[in-house]
Amino acid sequence: MKRLLPFPLLSLALLATWLLLNQTLAAGHVLLGAVIAVGGGLALALLQPPGPMVRRPAAIAALAWLVLVDIVRSNVAVARIVINPGHRRQTSGFLDIPLELRDPAGLAVLACIITATPGTAWARYDSAQSVLTMHILDLVDEDTWIRTIKDRYERRLLEIFG
Amino acid sequence: MSATLLAGAIAFAQVLLALAMACAAFRLLRGPRAQDRVLALDTLYVAAMLLMLTFGMREANALYFEAALVIGMLGFVATAALAKFLLRGEVIE
Amino acid sequence: MSHAAGLPSFVAFVIALLVVLGAVLTLIGALGLLRLRSFYDRVHAPTLGTTLGTGLVLIASLTLFSALQSRPVLHEILIGVFMTITTPVTFMLLVRAALHRDRSAGRDPAAEGASRSQGRPPEPRPE
């Protein structure tokens, strides 16, 4: 089992993608999808990716929900800034944030979260000092932003990727 | 009644998306720098993809979905390659 | 639109609302490309369209097709998953490319921002 499905989650995702693309649950397509899923898993195993240890599905679900809520909230905030930028002064800028998160997979997830949220963008990461530089559209209170990133995201990512 | 409402809403959404594409096209032509143009291209293809989806809703035809998926995938590859080109001056190193 | 005639008016209303809202957000994002001043500001604008804009239109399309065919039509989820994964990658690459080009032109906007925040060193909160 382990040899046939070295990455069960990836294989499951491939099977789901295949069935969704074909809009069917017919036995033939399930079989074909299963072949693709197993083949994809074996192909990835040949690449020998450094397998990140993912734990705590509950924490992952909580983080996903949090990110969804934040994306909706910042959509509204950025839309407001775009619609009337006239009366406000230039408030965007870069901000340095020291991180405790070291795991590459965790950092990748953090980068995706920050960039996918309107109003914040990942600019660069200094791995020697583990300092993240990000660009923020509405940089009024730097401490609030630092606390947001560290408390809301980094703490949970440390729990998940540890 | 519900058909008229839906048709009107979809047509309105299509006008908005076309306007969004026009904004992106303006930034694409205007620049001023290469990164602005690539960003505009990204916005352009996302709006085009959504336009395809609304056409699919209008015609109740699932084929438009395939077109939207292809636009999304090719758009991503194009923008990523262009960004990579800006980063290094060449795509394949 | 004759195919939508049999749709319950409540469902039609929800779909109409979702598709218009998604298009409005996408338009605001594209408008931000024109109205915001610097490139680094403008990077934030299209994310409106790629996150919530796309999401709302996808949900609208998903609801419409599911209601029309009276079975769950879920393949729109694929576009959603695909956009969620790819958009941050392109934007990160683009910001890095812009920083790189600015640096090689002799300016480093990120370093200026960093020096500004060095006046008040950001203390990591004690955990």
What is the domain extent for residue C10?
2-86
Q: What are phi and psi of A3, to 5 degrees?
A: -75, -30
- Asked if C23 and B65 come within 8 Å (Cβ–Cβ), the reply is no
| Residue with the larger pLDDT of the pair C50 and C7 | C50
Which helix or strand (DSSP H or E) is residue A93 part of? strand A93-98
Same domain, A42 and A88: no
Size of interface B-C (CB pairs under 8 A): 188
The shortest CB-CB distance from C109 to any of A83, A94, A150 is to: A94
Strand, coil or helix: A23: coil
Size of interface A-C (CB pairs under 8 A): 127
Angle between helices B2-30 and B34-59 (to 10 degrees): 160
Structurally, how many domains does chain A consist of?
2
Q: Answer yes or no: is C30 within a domain.
A: yes
pLDDT 10s digits, C75-122: 888 888 888 889 888 998 888 888 888 888 777 776 655 444 433 334
CA C59/CA C53 separation, integer angstroms? 10
Nearest CA in chain C to B69: C79
Q: Answer yes or no: is A21 within a domain.
A: yes
Structurally, how many domains does chain C consist of?
1
Nearest CA in chain A to C46: A118
**Which pLDDT score, from 0 to 100, does residue C115 have?**
42
ipTM: 0.86
Rounded to an integer, what is the distance from CA C51 to the centroid of its chain? 3
**Which pLDDT score, from 0 to 100, does residue C48 have?**
87
Angle between helices C9-35 and C54-69 (to 10 degrees): 160
Q: Answer yes or no: is C28 within a domain.
A: yes
Q: Answer yes or no: is A68 within a domain.
A: yes
Same domain, A42 and A108: no
The strand pair at A131-136 and A120-126 is best described as antiparallel
Q: Answer yes or no: is C101 within a domain.
A: no
Q: Answer yes or no: is A3 within a domain.
A: no
Kindly give the residue spans of alpha helices, DSSP state H, lying in A84-141: 104-116
Same domain, A117 and A136: yes
What chain B holds in terms of domains, given with CATH numbers, is 2-88 (1.10.287)
Q: Answer yes or no: is A32 within a domain.
A: yes
Q: Answer yes or no: is A2 within a domain.
A: no
The strand pairing partners of A132, in sequence order, are A97, A125
Spell out which residues of chain A touch residue C96, defining contact as CB-CB under 8 Å. 123-124
Q: Answer yes or no: is A93 within a domain.
A: yes
Is the pLDDT reported for residue C1 higher than 90?
Answer: no
What is the domain extent for residue A139?
57-161
Q: Answer yes or no: is A1 within a domain.
A: no
Same domain, A112 and A154: yes
Q: Answer yes or no: is C33 within a domain.
A: yes
Strand, coil or helix: A17: helix
Q: Answer yes or no: is A40 within a domain.
A: yes
Same domain, A43 and A78: no
**Which pLDDT score, from 0 to 100, does residue B76 have?**
92
Nearest CA in chain C to B49: C54
